[in-house]
Structures are given as C-alpha cells and as structure tokens.
Chain A
Amino acid sequence: MALDQLVMTKFGETAGEEMILNMGPQHPSTHGVINFVVHADGEVMKKAVPQVGYLHRAIEKIGEIVTYPGFMPYTDRIDYLAAMFANEGYALAVEKLLGLTVPPRAQYLRAISCELNRIASHLISLGSMAMDIGAVTPFPYALRERESINDLLEALCGARLTYNFHRIGGVGFDMPDDWMPLCRKWLDHFDRILDEWDRLISFNEIFVERLAGLAVIPLEMAINYGLVGPNLRASGIEFDLRKAHPYGAYPDFDFKIPFGKAYAGAYRGGVVGDCFDRFYVRVLECRESVSIVRQALDKFPPGEFMAPKVPRKIKPEAGEAQSRIEAARGEMAYYVVSDGGERAYRVRARTGSFLAMGIIEELSKGLMIADLVALIASLDVVAPEIDR
C-alpha cells in the first residue's frame, strides 16, 4: 500500500468501523521520530504498522567515505543514549581486522565506561517508560542520577552524550587521578536510589496493573523475531554476550544475569515475557552494572591505555570481521568489510532496536492504544538505532 493510502484523509476511513490514526512522528511518547499507523476500532487496535526512516542519516554510507578512525564519532550517533557501546563495537571489529590486542587498562576503562553508560541508558528507558504510563515524577529522578553519570563521563572523555571515547586500539584518554573516589561515592549513593525507585514506581499497584500480562512474548517468538538484550532475557532465557562469548575485560568480573521470571506476580496476571518483566529486568541490570563497575575499580590495572604500534593510517588487509557486544538495548553487531584501503568497503551496524520494531505489528493486534504506548516503551526502542 502506498504511503498516501495509509495517511488519514479528510473524512477518510476504510470501509466499516475502522479508524486510521497517525501516532507520530512527533509524539510525546514514541521514542524518537517514529510513526505508527494505527488501525483502530474505538480504543482497541486491529494493528499498528510502524513507519521508520525519519532519522535515517546514511551512517553506513558515510562509513565508506571516511577513514577508519574518522568513523568513530559517527558511531556515537548510531545510539546517542548508549554511545560507548557503539564506539566499542566498531573498535572491536576493526581491531579484529588489524589483529591488535588491547592492553588491559584500556579494556577496563572500556568496561567501566560502558557499564556506566548502560546505567545511564537504562535510567532514561525506565524513566520514560514511567512517564509514558503517566507517572511524571520518576523521569526527573532518573535524569538527576544520570546527571552524575554524565559528569563522571565528562571528566573521562570531555563529552556528556556523544563520547567518542574509545579508539581503535584502546581508549582516547586515561582516567583522571581523582576520578575513582568520586565514582565510588556515586555508586554508594546510587544503590539507595534504586531501592527508592522500587518503592516509588516499580511495585506501584497501578503501574503493575498496567504492565502485568501485557504483550507477552514467548521465548520462541522472541528468538524467531530476533529480539536481543533485555527484551530477550525478559522472555526467560539467561543469555548475555558478556557471559556467553566474553570480550574485553568481562571475564574478570563476577555478575549475575537477570532474566524474566514474571516479576509482577501471578496473582496480578504476571507472565514471563510481559512488559513488566522487560521493565524490571532493566532495573536489575542497573544493579549488576553497579557491581561490575565496583569490581573494575577494585581491580584496575596499571599500564597503557592505548595499544602500542597502532598505525597512523589504518589500512587493514582485505577481509571482513564481525564483532558482537552486549549494548544497552541488546546485542549490537558490527560487520566491517575491508578491501585493503584506508576507507572501509562496508560498515554495517545491526542494532537491537531495529529488530525489536519488527515485532510490534504482530503484537499490537488486539491491544488498546494505551497499551501500544506501554509496549513501545517496554521494548526500549530509540529512533537513531532503528534508522541509523
């Protein structure tokens, strides 16, 4: 169907009782510029068809134009809420092509910055989910905590949002001298904030009632549709790339992997793989990230923060490499093809949000419009990751 037929006309409905509405692209709670063409019969939807591409910036094409190190700032923009992961994925892929080993201090710095960024990204996701359900207060609380993380990361690399911190072969800067005690102090403070979060919103009766049993994604469906990250874990599988195929400094750390267990409780209709599980898995992941950062700070090794002998002009030999990392929104896979020149032949970033969008049309059948908002929020999609 062409686009014009999908758009609402002046009196225009399809035959019968169906109403066609546009939710977006500017809407307070589609996470970014995404449009949903909702076929609704009153409050209940027949289906909601997502239309993406409003934020397409041709980043993969730019990857063929700029040099290998020059592409690093562009990876920030692939997911600007969890930019460290995008940096790391690309760096890992190119390092695989070059055959570089990254020194331990750099790996620890990568792990620390990534885990802090994971907490920041989850805070936004949880806060905006609460806001979409109607509780406005948790969002500023989440932002308040995220400000501290932004300050810490700004001390590390100079930027609050698009970090460009990781480099091919290591990281860009070393940790400042007084950074560690500040980080520890904040981690101690943040533990109690997570407890307050649980008291405020996680187990609030109305909140749980809204999310329990909603849009259940069984495990086979999740794997078939390609969900990754917290979305997949909430459907009941204990799979995390940091444990299954460890990379970087993660083998040194001891942490649990939270997965869906119907946290809403059976008496409220909670089922493994519902929206509340996807929400609560992210809350638990914040706790695990705090533990990882603490361990990393305890075991922080001395040494170089950049691999020795990284060539000035990076020209890997012809070949291709794929790197997979556990980003905040799921597994991000970078596929870099090199033809021996200074510029990549093809850079591909497969993001978790792109796959998550594919499941929305299927799940939206029979939901209400308020539920669609909750579903999108629980899948934690961001437009830059979808459109690149």
Chain B
Amino acid sequence: MSALTFEQIHQRLAGKFGEAVGPLQPAKKDPFCTFAPARLLEICRFLKSEPDLAFDFLEDLTATDHPKLNLIRVVYHFYSYPHRHMFIAKAEVNRQISEIDSVEQLWKSANWMEREVYDLFGVRFKGHSDLRRILMPDDWVGAPLRKDYSEAGGYRDISNVRDNPLDLYLSMDRELKAQQAAAQPAAGSQSAAAPEQHAAPNPPAKPGA
C-alpha cells in the first residue's frame, strides 16, 4: 500500500517500454507523459496488472484538440485504490485519421467515456464494443468540441441561425424615432412585440466580463 510519485511511476514505465513512453513533462501543475498510440494497449495492460502500480480505476478519459499542431490528444487519468496513487498520460492522434485503440477491455468505465470522445471529438476507438454517439443525437454531423467546429444551419427542421437581437432592437429604435418625428403627439405604444429570441448568435459571442 505504498503510493508512488509521478517520477517513480514514469521510471518504471520508461524502463519497461523505453521509447514508447515519452518524457515526463515538467510539472506545469500536473505532470504527464505521452504514450505511443501503437503500444497503448500494452502499456495500459502493464499499468493495470503490475502489482506495484495496480491502476484499477480509469478515472477520466477525455481529449483536447490542437488544430495548430494537427493533433488530438487523448488524455487518460489513472488511479489506484490499493496504492492510492495516480498517473496522467496522453496519446496523440492525428486530426484527420483519428483512430486509436480502445482500452475498454481493461476498464469498463472506458466504454461510455470513449463514446463521449467519439461523439464530441470524432476519434474512433478500435475494438470498442458499441461505438456510437452518446450525447448528441444519432444523426448529428460533426464533432462539436473540435476547435474548428461550426454548426450547420440547423438540425432537422430546427434552425439555429437567428438575427442578432441587438440589430433588431436598433432597427425598432430607428422606426420609432421615424414615427415620432412624423406623427407628433400621441405616439402610441409600439405594438411590435419583440419576438422571444434570446439565444446567443451563432459565432462565439463576446463573453460577459
């Protein structure tokens, strides 16, 4: 029941797998190392079965998208209940041909998490028992969490393109001023009811500070 540090675990891995395990990145708050995707399953099996490491809990399986490097990094967080230590690893996948082995046979928690990465990033996991979309509807097109994702004009009959409400209000303002200028007193109440469009417009809006 001894907790190993990141460096010690990394040494064990590097000793066994050599080149396939990248160097431990300097600790920008949480050190990680990179696995070669080709030997991912082997390394993970070692992580799980080695008694000193005993990573029996796949805590998190997610991904980050780096369009400038043309990479999607699949991030794995491992944790060991017997030893109470954790480890973080990444595997890099090409953005166009995004395929990688699935670790579902080792940790069943990977089932749903890999489906989520497939759904939101478009990474295919080879050997997954049931790879289909999980959060988005089944006939959705595109991988929403990619940095270059832009929505299609709508989904089935529901459009997601709306006029900017600010433009609408400005035009209503202009109309009102024109009316008031034309007809003098008793400028009656504007009967134009503002339609209830309150969704954010399509491109990422300026964030509220």
Contact = CB atoms under 8 A, between A and B. Distances in A.
B154 interface: no
Contacts of A355: 109, 112-113
Given A320-B32, A354-B116, 9 more contacts: A61-B145, A96-B30, A223-B56, A223-B57, A226-B109, A239-B81, A245-B84, A335-B60, A350-B59
Contacts of A67: 207, 209
A97 B29 contact: yes
Contacts of B60: 322, 333, 335, 348, 350
A56 B209 CA distance: 24
A3 B137 contact: yes
Contact of B135 (A3, A53, A345): A53
Query: What secondary structure prevails in chain B residues at the interface with A?
Result: loop
A136 interface: no
Interface residues of B, number: 39
Contacts, number: 101
A52 B116 CA distance: 11
The 7 A-B pairs at the shortest CB distance, nearest first, are namely A226-B109, A319-B28, A53-B135, A358-B112, A321-B29, A66-B207, A3-B138
Contact of A320 (B29, B59, B113): B29
B134 interface: yes
B108 A224 contact: yes
Nearest to A51: B134
Given A239-B81, A335-B75, A335-B77, A70 B209 contact: yes
B51 interface: no
A224 B134 contact: no
B142 to A, nearest CB: 12
Given A53-B137, A335-B62, A358 B111 contact: yes
16 contacts: A3-B137, A53-B135, A60-B120, A65-B205, A67-B207, A70-B207, A70-B209, A96-B30, A97-B29, A223-B81, A320-B28, A324-B59, A335-B62, A355-B109, A358-B108, A358-B109
B81 A237 contact: yes
Interface in B76-135: 77, 81, 84, 88, 107-109, 111-113, 116, 120, 133-135
Interface in B39-92: 56-60, 62, 64-65, 75, 77, 81, 84, 88
A182 interface: no
A58 B77 contact: no
Given A225-B109, A337-B64, A58 B144 contact: yes
B73 to A, nearest CB: 9
B136 A317 contact: no
Interface of A: 2-3, 52-53, 56, 58, 60-61, 65-67, 70, 96-97, 99, 220, 223-226, 237, 239, 244-245, 317-322, 324, 331, 333, 335, 337, 343, 345-346, 348, 350, 354-355, 357-359, 362, 387
B148 to A, nearest CB: 13
Contact of B57 (A226, A320, A359): A226
Contacts of B81: 223, 237, 239
A338 B125 CA distance: 26
B208 interface: yes
Contacts of B108: 224-226, 358-359, 362
A345 B67 CA distance: 12
B185 interface: no
Contacts of B30: 96, 319-322
B57 A333 contact: no
A245 B65 CA distance: 30
Nearest to A224: B108
B194 to A, nearest CB: 24
A350 B135 contact: no
B107 A322 contact: no
A96 B29 contact: yes
B108 to A, nearest CB: 5
A54 to B, nearest CB: 9
A245 B32 CA distance: 19
Interface in B3-41: 28-30, 32
